[in-house]
Every structure is written in C-alpha cells, then in structure tokens.
Amino acid sequence: MSTVPFNVTTFAGEASDAVVKVLDSGWVTTGPQTAGFEQDFADHLGAAHVVAVASCTTALELCLRALDLPPGSPVLTPSLTFCGAINAILHAGHRPVLVDIDEDTLVPGPETVAAAAARVRPAAMVVQNQGGYPVDVPALAAAAGLDRTRVVEDAAHGPGAGRDGRHVGADSFAACFSFYATKNMPIGEGGAVATSDQDFADRIRAMRLHGMSKDSWRRYLPGGSWRYDVRTVGLKANMTDIQAAIGRAQLTVLPEWQRRRGELAARYDALLAGLPGLVLPQRGLDGVQHAWHLYQVRVPDRDAIIAELDAAGVSTSVHFIPANQMTAYREILGAEECGSVPVTDRVGEELLSLPLYPALSEDAQERVAAALAAALRARG
Ligand SMILES: *Cc1c(COP(=O)(O)O)cnc(C)c1O
C-alpha cells in the first residue's frame, strides 16, 4: 500500500531551465535574478519594496535588529509558533513575551494581546498568520499599544492570504515570508521582507549582506567601484540568483496552486463534516482570504490518532508544539512565563495538520479522510 506523504514539493516546469541559465551565466550569487525576483514578488503582493534573504528566520532577525530597540526589550510573540521565530527574537538580543491564542483562529486575538501587554509593556510584537489565516495587524497593534512600525509579521504562511482584497504584506511595515520546501511558494530555502518603508528596505538590504554599503554584484558592474563601507553590523543572509530564478518560475504558477489548495480545503470540509469529536478549521470570516497553507483540525487523543493514521499509510504533522513546552525556552523564560498560555497548552494537545498541497490527488485525500473517520468513529 502506498503512503500519502504529508508534503510533496512541486516545481514549475520552467524552474530547471531557469537554474541552468543562471549556472551558464557565470554569476550565481545575489545579482540580477535576485533583483528581478524582488520586483516580481513585490508586484505579486502589491507591496512597495521587497528584499530577498536567506530564510524567513533570518528575515525576522534582520527586521527585529533593524528596529534598533534597546537590548533586552520585551517582544510579544505567540507561543503557538515555529521555534525559528522565537530564536530570531533571542538572537536579536530581546526577550520573547508569550501570548496565548484565541481557540477559534489559533492566533492571539486582541484580548490575549492586550492581556500580555498589560503584564509586560512591549517594545515590539511578532504576529503570525497561522496556517494561512491572515491576522488583523492594525487591530493587534492597537491592542498591544504599539505603532505599526513596531509590528513584525511572520508571514511564513502568508503567500495567498489577504484581508479585504489586500494581500498579506501589501501594507506592512515588516512582513517576513518563507520559501522553504514545504511552504506555499517553495524554492527550497529562501525568504523575503516586504515593507512599505523605503528607509527600512534600505537598512534590511544592507544588513542582509554584512552591513556593506554596496553588494558585490554592483561593485563588479562596469564602472562599479571597489570601495564600500560597513555602516552597521549585518548578517550573512542574502539570497542567491539560483534560488531567485526558481522563485520567479514558481511565482507564475502560484495563483493556480492557491486555487487548488482552496478546492482541496473545501473538499476536506465536506469529507470530514460531522465526525465525532472533530473540530474543523473556522470558515466564513468577513473579508478573509485564507491561504490554506495548512489544513489544521482538532481531535481528541491526538497522539494515538497520529500513530493510527501512520499505520494506515497517512503522514500528518503538528503545527506547532508550543514554544512554552520546549526545554531551551523553559530554561530561558522560566516556569511562570511558560505557564502563562493555558489555551495554547490545551488546544496544542489537539492540533493535527492533514496532507494539503497542490499535487495531492482526490483519491489520496479520500484515503486521508477515511482513515481519520475510522480513528474517530472507533472512539466516538
Ligand atoms: C517555516 C516557518 C518559519 C521559518 O521559515 P524558514 O524560511 O525555514 O526560516 C517561521 N515561522 C513559521 C510560522 C514557519 O512556519
């Protein structure tokens, strides 16, 4: 019996030719393809500026560093998030302050953000579009008492998501995207910062390459100068032209993939409706365009159900094991901070992500649904 993988990464047909062209060109690191990808992705989002970087994790760290907060500043973050987003706050020299979730949306809502901000006055906040649900950034900024220029968006799940007809990142001060292999816009590895602010874009652009005032592509262009300055201490976090060429090919197919994700999510809704103990993703929110990066359900007895699905040839995943349950953060943040997110702890035990990707066949999807139905009916 073949198994249904949790994820299959698809590449546009043109991606391999595009890579060969870059290799043949003799210029493989950050250069003309990266500049072209930045323009293409900015056009796709409707954003003023995009800076391509090595990953979403480095994008988050670069943005947090570029805010120039005092060392050790409190930064609000969901605890139900990927560890890389917590690490970025710590590597930037700040203190993660954990925020609990609203159990319907699986992200912090205005109430939980306001409660955390009352506990510790935050200097900045990281928000996350869990599974492809676009958070209401102005509402969360207001709840935290923060200006929009102090909100960094973890938009790793953001491609394809929007609110009121505007794409996630279109109006952001700092939105960080991921092009990791399993994400909606896969390159393999890569990330980007979208910003409405020219100065912020310029700072990120310098900081992604050591803080140098000019990147090497421009220095080696005819008439380019060998001279550069280092005005700020940056990271080595640039994107290569090989990645960018793949990204440009992928962007042409992304709208079709998003349409397919939406169709498959609606099919899951229908296939799984009414099963005992199952909570399906929230639907029908006004003005919300969900990206369906993940199809996350909630089930009782989650760990045993994962094992049963696995035995039936269905691979699943969990997004996420809450940060407050991880050893390193418990040591750094302490038991009191890590005990401050009860909804995250309760709901975190029930979360289950089902296979969802453009290459998922309807037969395979029906096998997933049948296996989950069998596991739930045996209990309910
Ligand atoms: C994948 C992911 C990241 C990290 O993305 P990379 O590009 O692999 O660094 C950050 N945040 C969330 C929510 C993610 O799912």
What's the pLDDT tens digit per position in 316-341? 999 999 999 999 999 999 999 999 99
Residues 236 and 265 in one domain: no
Of 252, 277, 310, at which residue does a domain stop?
252
How many percent of the chain have pLDDT more than 70?
Answer: 100
Chain-centroid distance of CA 241 in Å reads 22
Q: For residue 304, what are the domain limits?
A: 254-377
In this prediction, residue 226 carries a pLDDT of 85
Specify the CATH number for the domain of residue 20. Answer: 3.40.640.10
Of 204, 226, 252, at which residue does a domain stop?
252
Residues 248 and 259 in one domain: no
Residues 139 and 248 in one domain: yes
Residues 34 and 177 in one domain: yes
pLDDT (average), residues 245-253: 98
User: Is a pLDDT exceeding 90 seen at residue 286?
Assistant: no
Give the number of domains in the chain: 2
Torsion, Cα of 295, 290, 178, 329 (10° steps): -60
> Comparing C-alpha atoms, which of 183, 175, 369, 190 is closest to residue 258?
183
Residues 225 and 206 in one domain: yes
Is 349 contained in some domain? yes
Torsion, Cα of 22, 24, 28, 30 (10° steps): -50
Mutation to probe ligand 1, out of 6, 9, 57, 106 (largest number of atoms < 8 A from CB): 57
* Pocket of ligand 1 from Cβ distances under 6 Å: 55-57, 81-82, 84-85, 128, 154, 156-157, 178, 180, 191
State the Cα–Cα distance between residues 77 and 116, nearest whole angstrom: 10
Residue type, 18: A
CA of 57, closest atom in ligand 1:
9
CA of 190, closest atom in ligand 1:
7
50 or 221, greater pLDDT:
50
In this prediction, residue 215 carries a pLDDT of 73
Residues 181 and 268 in one domain: no
C-alpha distances (whole Å) from 220 to each of 160, 217, 226, 328 are 37, 5, 8, 44
Give catalytic residues, as residue numbers: 183
Chain-centroid distance of CA 79 in Å reads 14
Is 266 contained in some domain? yes
Is 61 contained in some domain? yes
Is 4 contained in some domain? no
Residue 373 tokens read as 């139905």
In this prediction, residue 1 carries a pLDDT of 67
pLDDT-based confidence at residue 74 (cuts at 50, 70, 90): very high
In this prediction, residue 219 carries a pLDDT of 76
Residues 245 and 266 in one domain: no
Residues 230 and 171 in one domain: yes
Ligand 1 mean position to 306 CA, how many Å?
23
CA of 81, closest atom in ligand 1:
13
What mean pLDDT is reported for the chain? 97
Q: pLDDT (tens digit, 9 = 90+) per residue, 160-217?
A: 999 999 999 999 999 999 999 999 999 999 999 999 999 999 999 999 999 998 777 7
Mutation to probe ligand 1, out of 6, 9, 56, 153 (largest number of atoms < 8 A from CB): 56
Residues 117 and 79 in one domain: yes
Is 6 contained in some domain? no
In this prediction, residue 380 carries a pLDDT of 82
In this prediction, residue 110 carries a pLDDT of 98
pLDDT (average), residues 19-37: 97
Mutation to probe ligand 1, out of 87, 89, 154, 353 (largest number of atoms < 8 A from CB): 154
Give the residue, by CA position, lying nearest to ligand 1 atom 8. Answer: 180
Of 224, 252, 280, at which residue does a domain stop?
252
State the Cα–Cα distance between residues 97 and 109, nearest whole angstrom: 15
Residues 200 and 181 in one domain: yes
> Comparing C-alpha atoms, which of 358, 362, 356, 255 is closest to residue 10?
358
CA of 179, closest atom in ligand 1:
7
Is 297 contained in some domain? yes
Residues 187 and 220 in one domain: yes
